[in-house]
Structures are given as structure tokens and as C-alpha cells.
Structure 1
């Protein structure tokens, strides 16, 4: 069964935007450190950024369902970050970087739920794993190209020059998005929306939201993985290359693992993702050499490829069509709010305790989420994409 051209268009847009974002992302923690920020401050910046994106996901999803359209929110969500690069390139203190991350994540928040809903609406349920897997693969391929471009440009342009250059793929993503044409199903006005609260959603959705909330407390920013690699002895350039390898492996594995999820069940692959995350964080807690650090980062790519696509596809089966974007947005908002205390706590555990302590705490929470997920063995009712 062929996937809809819409899946490939959205994948192309995500590819270009991730090129732009990931030219910046691996340099941000190092840039913040050069501006005098400690790990606690870096945790605060990243936590605020991710929590902001998640808060606006419910806004974008609700507005999209009310409008009966996805494209306007996508244009706003992808367009805003492309215009913000000068704010970062001219930053002279951590506060300005925080402002950039806040505004950039507003755009991400507005676009995520409408985009995920549009993906779910463009394919039949039996192809959800492949559709989300392909999208995550193209998205992550951009996240592979971005750090590699940053690595190549860094000696010639410097950190700030790389930040300026990242505006080019961001604006290209917006141009590609202008060619999107919504199908009748996404653009027609939906039936009256249910109240926007967990209690109004199906029981299977609420159970998964609870499990994911526990898991979110383990989800510290990837910036800490990069700092851990530097702590183990890698240079800034080597950290960027390692992150490039992570994203390349993530991109290559996403579609095959999405197809696997369609064959063996989305729920099994989600459970595998919880287990892999715990294993990776235990590995980062015990790692004593750069080689082990890079090895566990590559294992983290397997987790990302297995979990990110499968969990989004699984979530899409738990909610009815008339509230799909709202429910996806609410889920990401509730989970994302918890990323602020998660990243802040992780940074403080590292700063006032040790890196192994912080990573071990994250692994413990991931194992708790896995236990709760397996404890609820009921098969959820499936709603069509």
C-alpha cells in the first residue's frame, strides 16, 4: 500500500526545518556555557523551551479542530521560527538565548498537533506505523544533515555565523509548505468538540496519558547527553559528529521500525521504547570512556526510532476523529509541562550530586513507566486514522 503524497510533503517540510533546528541545537549548550551558564541554568532554559512547546500544542490542536483546517496553524508554526534566527545570533547572555528558545518553541507547539492529526487523517489505520515512521525518518534525516552542516561551517563562520546560516533551510521549509493542499476530511468542519479535559477523553487515552506523564519525568533534555559526552572526553567537534551519527541512525531505523509496529502491534514497540530508554540512561550513568558514551548514544537512536513514531501512531488510535488534534495537543501539553521540572531536576542532580546519579534517576522513572504500561494489559479501542 502506497502512502499518501501528503506524508512525503510533510516529511520534506520537517526535514528542512530540522536541518535548521539541528544546526543550532548541538551548539546551544556549549554556547550557553560560553556565556557563563551552569548546568542548572542550561536545564532551566531547556525545560522552559520544551514546556513552552508543549503548552502551545494544545492551543494549536484546539484551534485546528475548531477551524476544521490544519494548514493555517502549520504556516504560522513553521514560519515563526524562521524569523527568529537573528535573536539567537546576536545574543550576549543566557536570558536572550532563553527568549529565543521560548519563541522558537511557541512555533513548534502551534504546528505539532495539526501536523500529527493531518498525518493520521491521510492514511488508513493499518499504515499508521509506516506513515509516522517515514515522517520521523525524514524529520531525523534533517537532524542528521543539520549538525553535519554545523560541523563543516563552524571553522569558517563561528558559532554565531552558523546560527545565521540556519535561517536558509527554515525559510525553504515554509516555501514547500505553501504547496500543501488539505484533503476534504481535514478541511471540513468537525462535529461539536468534546470538552478539552482528560476526563472527557476515552479511558485508554487517559491510561496512556498517566503512563506517559510518569515517563516524561525521566525525559531530560538531550543537551545533557551531549554534555555527558564532553564530560567523558569528546571535543566540541566530536560531540557534534556523534550527534550527527545518532540522528543518521535514528533516520535510517524509523521507517523499518514503523513497519514492524504495523506488523507486531504498536503497543509492543512502545513498550520496547520504554525499556530501551531505561537501558540507555543506565549506560550513561555507568559509562567511563568516550567509546561507551558514543555506543550508548547510538543505542539511544534505536530507542528514538522505536518510540517516537510508534507512540504517536498509538496515540492516534486512542481518540475519535472529531477531537483528534485537540486530544493529541492535550496529550503533548500535559506531558510537556512535566519536561520543565524533569530537566531542571536532572540539572540540579548533576550539579549538586553527580552525572551518574542524574542518569540513574531517569532510568528508574522509565522503568516505573514501563511497569505501569505493562500492568494495563487491556487492548484499547481503535479509532480510524
Structure 2
């Protein structure tokens, strides 16, 4: 009895949930605070542009070769385990960094290790669940990860609260703990039982249609082009936000942690509902909604005159964040041929990595140049770049309206809205 039970446990979802819980606990302890750590070490807007650019480029650009290799080998778990352990270990060196550029170079190496994980994790999740239940599975997986990440962030808050208010070394202990926890998360995945002939057997139960596959490939290419346009302008804000929060609005280390907590709580509260909605209407409607909601971010940070506005926008962004956690993976799994899941993840994320590398770098240097041009008026320089980000996001959001769902779902967004309106009009919840 014990052996069959263990086999079913290893073939099912529990090891995946365990990895997500442990890994995201470590991520909550560390990942949100790396840019702020760089700021405390004296990083400029240009330095943060490089930090964000490397963090965008290498985890994404190298996913394509790793994804193709994984599809060819027919295994996901070994790639995820190696990438997780290496990337987590590098938090020890991040904690020991003494200057912004030491930190930036270590983050670059860490990003290369992360690129091994991402396409294989997405493909593994797709292979462990059926299409009709992906939304619920991804939603529950993201909720588990979100709760664990929140736990890590709260622990970071406790550790930071006991340290000097604006000191860089306040973040070092959370980074060390994150390294240990991240290594454990990678080892947990060794419990996953994975068929070795995955690549050879995948898709044999589904007949191929060259015309349909060609149409889906064109849909995927259009989707990728639209998202690269949107993310190029989206990334303009990323190197500026830590400067706005830590320098312009003079946030303490505890404020920085609590802003992350607010976003996490908001996302967790909505995650399972978003997953269920995805199973009804499909990923495209949700992706379109998230693109319009994210338009608010650069305006909020650019015009904020107190940390209260940062807390408010952080709470509101729980909605699109919950969508991003489930909808993009679901779309790529819907549109990709079964034997090329990891390759399609690699293609999409590689394109995103290239444009966000350029966007973050351009924004960081442009803000630095404008601050010098305008006699050190940092707030005005940041606002100018935020407005460019706002304009680009707005144009990209309207382009997203042309994206099509590659697979039929039970309801359209209009049908669901009419049903909701009918129920509420008749006094029923």
C-alpha cells in the first residue's frame, strides 16, 4: 500500500506545490529588495537601469536554447533543479556585495541560472494538468506561492525592523536565508516522477492539422509582437520605481517591505477567482484587461507626492498581477504544439527579455541625463520618463484587443458579463 501511495504522490501535484511554497518563501524574502539594496549601496538611475536590464535580458534571452534542449531530451525536472540551486546560491554573494556594480554582475550571473528554470517550469506545469482545469490549477498554485512569498516578506519586515532604518546591511540576512531556502526548493523537485519518453510521446493522442497549426503559429507571433511592444514601454518604469520610493518619497526600509506586502495580499485575495474565471473565458480576455490596468502604474508613481499613493496603487495592482500569474502561461500552452511547449516559452520570454533589456537601459540613462539637464530636478526627470511609459502602455493595450484565443472556452467575456448583469438586475448575487 505504501509504495503505490508514494508513487501516486510523486506523479501528482504535491511536490509541485511544495516546491512553489518553499521557493516563493525564499523569493519573498529577497527578490523585491534587490533594487532597493542597490539603492542603499549608492546606485544611480543609470546603475539601476543596468541592474533591471540584466534582470530582464538573461533570464529570458537564454530560455530558447534551454527550452529546445529540454524538449529534445524529454525531461524538465533536472533542468529546474540545477537552475534553482545555482540561482539560489548566488544570493550569498549578493548579500556580500559592497558596491552597486558588484551586485549588478552577480545578478547577471544569477539571471543566467534563472533562464534554465523558467521554460521548463511552465512546460512541466502544462504537462501535469488538463487544459480545462489549467486556470484553477495555476490559480491555486499561484495562491500557494503568494501566501508563502508573503510569509517570506513578513519575515523580512521583522528582520529589517530590527536593523537601522536606511542601512544597506539590513537586507543581507534575508538574502542569506533566501539562499538556503531556495536550495531546499530545488531539491524538493527531485521527488517529482517524470516519464523519460515525454518528448517522443507528447501529442500522440492529438491529431495534427497543418492548417490549424500554421494559424496558431501566426497567432503566437502576433501575440509576441504585441507583448514585446507593450513590455518595451512597461520596462521604462522599472528602474525608476526604486528611486521614486527610496529617494524622492524617502521611504524607510520598513516602508519598502510593507509596500511589497500590500501587493502580495491584494494578489493572493484574487488569485483563485482569476484562475476560475480563466477556465470560463480563456486567457486572452484577462490578458487584455491586465494591459489596460497596468497603464495606471507610471502615472501613479510619477505624480505621487506621498507614500500613501504608492500603497494605494500597490493594492490596486493585485488584480493585473493575479492575471499575469496564470493567463500568459495558459495562453502559450494553448497555442503551442504539445511537443514544443518549452520552446514556445523560450521564444516568447526571449523576445520579452530583449526589449525590456533595452527599455530599462534607455529609461535609466534618459532619466540620469534629464536630471542633469534640468539642474538636478530628479522628480521632473523621472516624471518625463514615466509619461513616455504611460503613452507606450496605452498604445500597446489597444493593440492587445486584436489578440485571438487559439482555443474555444465555455463562455465569452460578453456572455459572462450579460449573465452577471442579469443576475444582479434581478436581485440575485
Tell me the TM-score normalized by structure 2.
Answer: 0.80
| Aligned match of 2:45 | 39
| Aligned match of 1:195 | none
Structure with greater Cα Rg:
2
What is the distance in 2 between the residues matched to 1:181 and 1:251? 29
Q: 2:202·2:339 contact (CA, 8 Å) conserved in 1?
A: yes
Q: 1:64 aligns with which of 64, 70, 74?
A: 70
User: Cα deviation per residue 1:62-109 (whole Å; 9 max; x = unaligned)?
Assistant: 111010111111111111112223311221222221222112212221
Q: Which consecutive unaligned segments of at least 5 residues does structure 1 have?
A: 193-198
Distance 1:100 1:22, change over 3 A: farther
**1:107 alignment partner, SS class:** helix
Asked if residue 95 in structure 1 is aligned to residue 84 in structure 2, the reply is no
User: Cα deviation per residue 1:340-382 (whole Å; 9 max; x = unaligned)?
Assistant: 1111222234334422222222222222222112134x44257
| Aligned match of 2:122 | 116
What is the distance in 2 between the residues matched to 1:189 and 1:110? 23
Distance 1:200 1:90, change over 3 A: farther
Q: What does residue range 194-343 of structure 1 map to in structure 2 within 5 Å?
A: 202-220=217-235, 222=238, 224-230=240-246, 231-343=248-360
| Aligned match of 1:173 | 185
What is the distance in 2 between the residues matched to 1:186 and 1:201? 22
**1:380 alignment partner, SS class:** coil
Residue 268 of structure 1: how far off its partner (Å): 0.8
What is the distance in 1 between the residues matched to 2:115 and 2:140? 21
Distance 1:88 1:314, change over 3 A: same
**1:317 alignment partner, SS class:** helix
**2:108 alignment partner, SS class:** helix
Q: 2:140·2:275 contact (CA, 8 Å) conserved in 1?
A: yes
Residue 136 of structure 1: how far off its partner (Å): 2.5
Q: 2:81·2:187 contact (CA, 8 Å) conserved in 1?
A: no
Residue 205 of structure 1: how far off its partner (Å): 0.6
> How many corresponding residue pairs?
373
| Aligned match of 1:145 | 151
What is the distance in 1 between the residues matched to 2:254 and 2:140? 29
Q: 2:332·2:341 contact (CA, 8 Å) conserved in 1?
A: no
Residue 159 of structure 1: how far off its partner (Å): 2.7
Q: How much is the aligned-residue C-alpha RMSD, in angstroms?
A: 2.6
| Aligned match of 1:196 | none
Residue 281 of structure 1: how far off its partner (Å): 2.5
Tell me the TM-score normalized by structure 1.
Answer: 0.88
What is the distance in 1 between the residues matched to 2:69 and 2:391? 37
